Amino acid sequence: MVQFADRVNRVNPSAVREIFKLMADPEIISFGGGSPANESFEPDIIKEITAELLTKQPDLMLQYGTTEGWTPLRDAYIEHIAKPKGLAFDRGNIITTTGSTQGISLSIDAFVNEGDTVLVESPTFLATLMVFAKVNANVVAVDMDEDGMRTDDLAAKLEATGARLIYTIPTFQNPTGRTLSLERRKDVAKLAALHGAVVIEDDPYCDLRYSGEALPPIKSFDDADNVIMLNSFSKIVSPGLRVGTVAASAEIIPKLTVAKQCSDTHTAILPQAICAEYLNRGLLPGHLKSTAPMYKERLDTMLACIEKYLPAEAEYTRPDGGVFIWLTMPDGFDAQELLVTATQKYKVAFVPGAPFHADPADGKNTLRLNFSGATPDKIEEGMQRLSKAFAAQL
Ligand X SMILES: Cc1ncc(COP(=O)(O)O)c(C=O)c1O
Query: Which residues inside 108-137 make contact with ligand X, applying CB under 6 A?
Result: 125
Let me know: does 195 contact 166? Beta carbons within 8 Å: no
Whole-number CA gyration radius for the chain: 21
The SS3 call for residue 383 is: helix
Quick one: which segment of 77-85, 98-106, 186-194, 370-378 binds ligand X (CB under 6 A)? Answer: 98-106
Among residues 160, 82, 172, the alpha carbon closest in space to that of 121 is found at 172
Residue placing its CB nearer to ligand X in the complex, 169 or 302: 169
Residue placing its CB nearer to ligand X in the complex, 58 or 240: 240
Which of 109, 116, 201, 202 touches ligand X (CB under 6 A)?
202
Which of 32, 99, 177, 321 touches ligand X (CB under 6 A)?
99
Site for ligand X contains 232 (CB under 6 A) = yes
Strand partners, 198: 165
Largest separation between any pair of C-alpha atoms in the chain: 62
Site for ligand X contains 372 (CB under 6 A) = no
Q: For the CB of residue 321, give the shortest distance to ligand X in the complex, in Å.
A: 13
Which of 30, 179, 234, 370 touches ligand X (CB under 6 A)?
234
> Residue with the closest Cβ to ligand X?
99
SS percent in the chain: helix, strand, coil, step 5: 45, 15, 40
CA distances from 380 to 188, 309, 312, 320, 326 (A): 39, 9, 17, 20, 17
Q: How far apart are CA 238 and CA 167, in angstroms?
A: 24
Site for ligand X contains 226 (CB under 6 A) = no
Residue placing its CB nearer to ligand X in the complex, 121 or 380: 121
Quick one: which segment of 63-71, 93-101, 193-201, 330-338 binds ligand X (CB under 6 A)? Answer: 93-101
Half-sphere exposure of 143 toward its Cβ, with a 13 Å CA cutoff? 8
Let me know: does 356 contact 368? Beta carbons within 8 Å: yes
Quick one: which segment of 97-105, 160-168, 208-216, 330-338 binds ligand X (CB under 6 A)? Answer: 97-105
Q: How far apart are CA 46 and CA 1, in angstroms?
A: 46
Site for ligand X contains 34 (CB under 6 A) = yes
Quick one: which segment of 95-103, 183-191, 206-214, 377-385 binds ligand X (CB under 6 A)? Answer: 95-103
Q: How many residues bind ligand X (CB under 6 A)?
A: 13
Residue type, 323: V
Site for ligand X contains 169 (CB under 6 A) = yes
The SS3 call for residue 388 is: helix
Measure the CA dihedral 198/7/97/94, to 10°.
30
Which of 30, 100, 107, 245 touches ligand X (CB under 6 A)?
100
Quick one: which segment of 192-200, 232-240, 283-291, 302-310 binds ligand X (CB under 6 A)? Answer: 232-240
Query: Which residues inside 328-367 make contact with ligand X, applying CB under 6 A?
Result: none
Residue type, 17: R
Cα–Cα–Cα angle for 100, 105, 108, nearest 5°?
A: 125
Site for ligand X contains 370 (CB under 6 A) = no
Query: Which residues inside 303-322 make contact with ligand X, applying CB under 6 A?
Result: none
Which of 67, 174, 267, 372 touches ligand X (CB under 6 A)?
174
Q: Is 288 exposed, middle or buried (0-12, 13-18, 19+ CB in 10 A)?
A: middle
Site for ligand X contains 239 (CB under 6 A) = yes
Applying CB under 6 A, the residues found at the interface with ligand X are 34, 99-101, 125, 169, 174, 202, 204, 232, 234, 239, 244
